Amino acid sequence: MTARLGRPVLSAVVMGYRNERTIVQSVRSLLEQTCDDPFEVLVVTSGGDRSAELVRERFPRTVVHDSPIRLSAGAARNVGVRLARGDVIAFLAADCLASSEWVARRIAAHRSGHQAVAGAVSHAGRDTPAARAALFTTFPSRLTTRPAGHADPSNVFGLSYARSLLERLGPFDEELGAGEDTLASRRLRSLGERAWFEPSIHAAHFGPENTWQMLRDQFRRGARRARWADLLNAIGPRRLRLERMRWPGAGVFTVGLIAAYEVRGRWQWTIGSALRWGRKRQVLSVLPWIVAAVLANEAGWAIAQLGPEGHARRQARQVAAQPNWGILRSLPAGGRIDRVALTFDDGPSPRTTPAILETLAAYGVRATFFMLGTQAERHPDLVARTAAAGHSIGNHTWSHAYLRYDERVLQAEINRASELLVQLSGRAVRHVRPPGGRLNPMILAWLVRQGFHAVLWSIDPRDWSRPGPAAIASHVLERVEPGSVIVLHESETDGAGTLAALPAIIDGILSRGYSLVPL
Ligand SMILES: [Zn+2]
């Protein structure tokens, strides 16, 4: 059990995104492990469902980090790494169950000198032909029948890492929204490191059980592959294909050709790996399902390639290779004084903006205001006053719309708001904070192409949920560190608590020797 005292040897991070159905079982599979060494279980969830609540109810002593904005898998991993105290850090998806001795065997493998240890995948539900075929098709290199041994890091997954190795690897990619483990494995390989595959460490995955579920799952995986593979390759070593298509007919033809070619490659990979590492008779007995699964996957890929997002994706791929690609979550290191940024969203508002400006002026500090077009239109004088006081003006969209990739929506929400804010403030508006933190690589690439930086935050006291001034201030002051970007809100309803908390927040930050700067 985890009740052992002492510093944990291993930290197991459970990553959940809307996994209400399985997360409690997943966490329990770790908490009930037998292990002679101390280990800890951390849970990182986002997505706004009851996952975090369910875990807290059942396992009140488990550390749960629940993010109000949707975390990409990479961001969830990085949060887990920050919270982890162990020398080995392992990850488990919240739709998987850890096998018995998952922890102990990982610790043993790391102790015998392996820096990165990969595990196998099995099926958690009923054993049906579709479930087996899904396993062979999706995880052919991770079957429990594959013997233990060194493996090319870029074709094994489910890695646990020695902390020292993670420090060399750097953080997981947060911007692409997927493929963060693939990118980490490519870096692993470029460092000359190998992974150790250990089949006795396995995660039982709640995968599809009947043929229909299997086909749907494969179709989605194919579409996801189309969505991310281009981007992944843009920041990885490999670049490819479909650069430009002159005629729509040529596009269909090209995609069809590539799909056919891919079926061949995937076929060899899937069947080759399954036959190599699976039991031949088992693989052959579900052959028709495997054929259907590969075709469904390819169909999903082809349709996503031809869809309206295809163009945006190809452009995003070009932008992703540029140095200014990325999301600002905290201030880059630099300068002699440790800098912290205060940001205020949802204004300007006559109830809060003048009072905030007064407080900031009293302390002689500057901040950033992410303003809405609708509010700026109503209170143009406040935009001018804020800018005149030396604060930075950022763009929080025209109408607080949750962004999706649609050129017309982005024009109306981002460009329209920017034009007004530039006009009223007389200053350039470079920073965009998407409402709810909703971004995807296509939107991010669009923003970069328009010359904007996307800004999120590193500290969020959730003042909009009205926890009271004391709670807001202590949330911020407990977490503030060099480079922190703090998000506060001045919406009509909750400004009062934020306003009352502000002096304590500024006092606390300045008394630690940090300087407050606009973005
Ligand atoms: Zn907002």
391, 396, 431, 489: the catalytic one is 489
Ligand 1 center to residue 396 CA distance, Å? 7
Cα(305) to centroid(ligand 1), Å: 33
pLDDT tops 60 at residue 248: no
As separate numbers, helices (DSSP H) first and strands (DSSP E) second, the chain gives 20, 17
Taken in order of first residue, the domains within the chain and their CATH numbers are 10-205 (3.90.550.10), 211-320 (no CATH), 327-516 (3.20.20.370)
Report pLDDT digits (tens) over 194-232: 999 999 999 999 999 999 999 999 999 988 887 777 666
- Per DSSP, the residues of 423-453 read HHHSS---EE--GGG---HHHHHHHHHTT-E
Is 489 one of the catalytic residues? yes
The Cα diameter of the chain in Å comes to: 77
CB atoms within 10 A of CB 85: 15
Residue 184 near residue 195 (C-beta atoms within 8 A): no
pLDDT at 70: 79
Q: How far, in Å, from the CA of 349 to the mean position of ligand 1? A: 13
Whole-angstrom distance, CA of residue 498 vs CA of residue 468: 8
| Greater model confidence, 189 or 41 | 41
pLDDT tens for each residue of 271-322: 787 777 777 888 888 999 999 999 999 899 888 877 766 777 777 777 776 6
Task: Give distance in angstroms: CA of 490 to centre of ligand 1.
Answer: 9
Annotated catalytic residue 406: no
For residue range 2-17, what is the model confidence (pLDDT) as tens digits?
Answer: 445 678 999 999 999 8
Q: Report d(CA 428, CA 50) in Å as an integer.
A: 41
Pick the closest to residue 480 from 446, 454, 457, 450 (CA basis): 457
Burial class (CB in 10 A: 0-12, 13-18, 19+), 237: exposed
pLDDT confidence bin for 155, thresholds 50/70/90: confident
Q: What pLDDT was estimated at residue 336?
A: 64
Residue 246 confidence (pLDDT) above 60 = no
To which residue do tokens 């940024």 refer? 341
Q: How far is CA 342 from CA 157, 360, 455, 462, 508, in A?
A: 39, 10, 12, 14, 13
Read off the pLDDT band of 247 (50, 70, 90). low
In the reported structure, the alpha carbon of residue 371 is separated from the centroid of ligand 1 by a whole-number distance in angstroms of: 9
Each residue's pLDDT tens digit, 111-153: 999 999 999 999 998 899 999 999 989 988 888 989 999 988 8
Mean pLDDT along residues 421-432: 95
Separation CA 409–CA 164 (nearest Å): 45
- How far is the centre of ligand 1, averaged over its atoms, from the C-alpha of 224 (Å)? 29
C-alpha span between 483 and 11 (Å, rounded): 26
Selecting among 345, 346, 463, 494, the annotated active-site residue is 345
Kindly report the average pLDDT of the chain as a whole number: 87
User: Cβ distance 444 to 454 under 8 Å?
Assistant: yes
Extract the runs of DSSP E, i.e. beta strands, from 54-162.
63-67, 88-93, 96-98, 116-123, 149-151, 160-162
Please provide the size of the chain in residues.
519
433 CA → ligand 1 middle, Å: 8
